Amino acid sequence: MTDFSPAIESAGYDWAALAGEDLPEILAIEEAAQPYPWSEAVFEDCLRAGYHFDGAFTRGCLLGYSVVMPVLDEWHLLNLCVDPSVQRRGVGRFLLQRLLDSAAAQDVHSVLLEVRAGNRGAIALYESLGFADIGHRKAYYPAPTGREDARVMRRLLA
């Protein structure tokens, strides 16, 4: 992936909706960042289903993306992924805040997500933006030693 200077931490990011032509960049980030990445077919299914794909950019380069499944007045964050070369520089927070702002503007009641129980960085981000635990999924994610539990979190908007 592209290596960005530390100056990116204070830089603003651009946002745009993503589409099928963005799949090569999305897949490159997914494969670099995830121990068990989604396949191209999964992303294609999400696009066909009309799920929201949003991206964070700087200087025209995709830094991270989110995939959201809207269900009536509730959104389910299915995937939030940031290029490893720019993690911990506010890209994930930018994407998540943008998602929450968009959801609120569309009168969405809540946003749900699952997160690996051991993903402390992501959990801290979600909690800092008002997400709270509402459940637990035992052995939800694949892991090197079998399966890993998930925390189910929700942020109420209305």
The tens digit of pLDDT for each residue in 7-28 reads 334 458 999 999 999 999 999 9
Q: Which domains does the chain have, with CATH numbers?
A: 14-156 (3.40.630.30)
13 is catalytic: no
Active site residue 126: yes
Bridge pairing between strands 14-17 and 52-58: antiparallel
31 bridge partner residues: none
Residue of 13, 25, 65, 114 marked catalytic: 114
Q: Express each pLDDT in 54-87 by its tens digit.
A: 999 999 999 999 999 999 999 999 999 999 999 9
Tell me the three state secondary structure of residue 45.
Answer: helix
Query: pTM of the entire structure?
Result: 0.91
Which of 102, 101, 134, 87 lies closest to 115, judged by CA?
A: 134
Rg of the Cα atoms in the chain: 15
Identify the active-site residue in 40, 126, 127, 140: 126
d(CA 124, CA 142): 21
